[in-house]
Amino acid sequence: MRMSGSIGKVFSFSVGDLCRRLQTDRDKGLSVEKAAAVLQKTGPNVLTPSHKTPEYIKFIRTLTHGFSLLLWIGAGLCFVACLIRKIIHDELDTDNLILGCVLVTVVVVTGCFMYFQEHKSQKIMESFANMVPPKATVIRGGETMSIVSRELVVGDLVDMKFGDRIPADIRIIHSQGFKSTLYTILHNIVYYELNNTCND
């Protein structure tokens, strides 16, 4: 869901002011027709996936980033020195050949390690898209109904109970002992007590 800049800081408005700006009713919510119009205008409540870079490009980038370029140059110089000695003196320069092979091995091994680390991080980020619950309970036109989370729109009144996952960015307008659990990327669990107080 996209929100215009004029209502982007929903946490700083009073509930009455926010309801006026979003053209919703704090008790009845949006009408079904108004919600359909907003959905048509702003699109579904989904995380927008970023542009995906092909995997082979990502792998090549890990092999050619910063310091790896210097190692590639060093390995190339070792192989050139080995080749020059072979041409001029007709003997194999094993020292430069071994050093060049070691440098190439270091670059490839560290590049593979970096690629798999980035791939693992990407999978964690993609898993966030699966955290949005498939259903949400909303109040539209004064009636409580269950809808698909992707159909939530700006101005909907979301009714949440113990154990529910938060289906979208929401502003709390009424709560009783509402607590939320935040799982960080490092798998730490942080507990928050939430209320409807305005913040600046």
Which pLDDT tens digit goes with each residue over 131-154?
656 888 899 999 999 998 888 898
The total number of structural domains that make up the chain: 2
Per-residue pLDDT of the chain in tens (200 residues, 90 and over written 9): 444 444 556 667 888 888 888 888 888 889 999 999 999 998 888 777 667 888 999 999 999 988 999 999 999 999 999 999 999 988 888 999 999 999 999 999 999 999 999 999 888 877 766 665 688 889 999 999 999 888 889 889 888 888 777 777 777 787 777 777 766 555 666 666 666 665 54
Is there a contact between 4 and 12 (Cβ–Cβ < 8 Å)? no
Question: Is 9 domain-assigned?
Answer: yes
Question: Is 183 domain-assigned?
Answer: yes
Check whether residue 123 and residue 67 sit in a common domain: yes
Question: Is 64 domain-assigned?
Answer: yes
Q: What is the pLDDT of residue 4?
A: 47
Check whether residue 28 and residue 81 sit in a common domain: no
Q: What is the pLDDT of residue 173?
A: 80
Question: Is 200 domain-assigned?
Answer: no
| Pairing mode, strands 189-193 and 143-148 | unpaired
pTM of the model: 0.53
What is the per-residue burial (b if ≥16 Cβ within 10 Å, else e) of 43-54? eebeeeeeeeee
Backbone angles phi, psi at 193, to 5 degrees: -95, 125
Check whether residue 178 and residue 156 sit in a common domain: yes
Question: Is 84 domain-assigned?
Answer: yes
100, 129, 158 — which closes off a domain?
A: 129
Check whether residue 40 and residue 137 sit in a common domain: yes
Check whether residue 81 and residue 62 sit in a common domain: yes
User: Tell me, what DSSP letter sits at residue 9?
Assistant: -
Check whether residue 106 and residue 12 sit in a common domain: no
E runs forming strands in the chain: 135-140, 143-148, 157-158, 179-183, 189-193
Check whether residue 93 and residue 114 sit in a common domain: yes
Question: Is 180 domain-assigned?
Answer: yes
Check whether residue 184 and residue 142 sit in a common domain: yes
User: Tell me, what DSSP letter sits at residue 155?
Assistant: T
CA torsion 163→164→169→170, rounded to 10°? -90
Q: Strand, helix or coil at 68? A: helix
Tell me the one-letter amino acid at 173. I
113, 129, 145 — which closes off a domain?
A: 129
Q: What is the pLDDT of residue 170?
A: 79
Q: What is the pLDDT of residue 10?
A: 64
Helix H or strand E segment including 128: helix 94-129
CATH at 157: 2.70.150.10
Q: What is the pLDDT of residue 122?
A: 83
Is there a contact between 157 and 24 (Cβ–Cβ < 8 Å)? yes
Give CA–CA dist 177/38, Å, rounded.
31
Domain span at residue 86 reads: 55-129
